[in-house]
């Protein structure tokens, strides 16, 4: 058999309509099962990345307060550089030497946590107090406990808390009663709406 005959023999073979329909049906089933699972996986990973970024930001704030020997604040800043309440916006870590929860011209920005994307995301984050998260040069939080809550709206199981004690200890909330919901410092389940 010469080369031309071999090529012709291979090109004459193809798929029958039945074989093609079977492949399309199997592909459709796999996509129908796989895509929703992939979406849930991506959503879980996005959530975990946000919680991790916030945990690192709070830990950095505390570490920098001790390292620099001055108060350091973490909060969303308003247009006037004062701490605001929009915790879904960009968060700023800054030296707050006069402890007024305002980024003054003589104070330095240490770090930034990106704002949550407003389109297409269901993530939400809130702080239990209206004030900034502030640490003293000793590493203590300024006289109060606080809880930073992160939620995936529409999900009953994707919630997390970052708990800051008055002594400056930073920890993630746990699901101590194994009901699938993380508890806050009071032991109440964190619910997302």
Question: What pLDDT, on a 0 to 100 scale, did the predictor assign at position 104?
Answer: 92
Question: What pLDDT, on a 0 to 100 scale, did the predictor assign at position 105?
Answer: 92
Query: What are the domain boundaries of the chain?
Result: 16-68+118-172
What are the tens digits of pLDDT across the range 13-32?
A: 677 888 888 989 998 888 88
What are the tens digits of pLDDT across the range 78-114?
A: 999 998 888 888 899 999 999 898 999 999 999 998 8
Strand partners, 82: 102
Kindly indicate the confidence band of residue 2, based on its pLDDT and cuts at 50, 70 and 90.
low
Question: What pLDDT, on a 0 to 100 scale, did the predictor assign at position 127?
Answer: 75
CATH architecture, domain defined by 16-68+118-172: 3-Layer(bab) Sandwich (3.55)
Examine the pLDDT at 143 and tell me if it is beyond 70: no
């Amino acid at each position: 058999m010469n080369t031309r005959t071999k090529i012709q023999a291979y090109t004459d073979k193809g798929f029958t309509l039945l074989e093609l329909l079977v492949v399309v049906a199997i592909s459709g089933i796999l996509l129908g099962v796989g895509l929703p699972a992939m979406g849930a996986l991506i959503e879980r990973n996005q959530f975990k990345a946000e919680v991790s970024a916030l945990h690192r930001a709070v830990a950095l704030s505390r570490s920098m307060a001790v390292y620099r020997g001055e108060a350091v604040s973490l909060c969303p800043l308003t247009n006037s550089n004062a701490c605001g309440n929009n915790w879904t916006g960009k968060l700023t870590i800054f030296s707050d030497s006069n402890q007024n929860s305002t980024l003054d011209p003589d104070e330095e920005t240490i770090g930034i946590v990106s704002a949550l994307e407003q389109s297409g995301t269901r993530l939400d984050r809130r702080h239990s107090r209206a004030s900034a998260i502030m640490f003293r040069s000793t590493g203590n939080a300024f006289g109060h406990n606080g809880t930073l809550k992160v939620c995936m709206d529409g999900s009953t199981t994707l919630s997390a808390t970052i708990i800051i004690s008055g002594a400056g200890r930073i920890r993630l909330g746990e699901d101590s009663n194994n009901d699938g919901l993380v508890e806050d410092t009071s032991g109440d389940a964190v619910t997302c709406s």
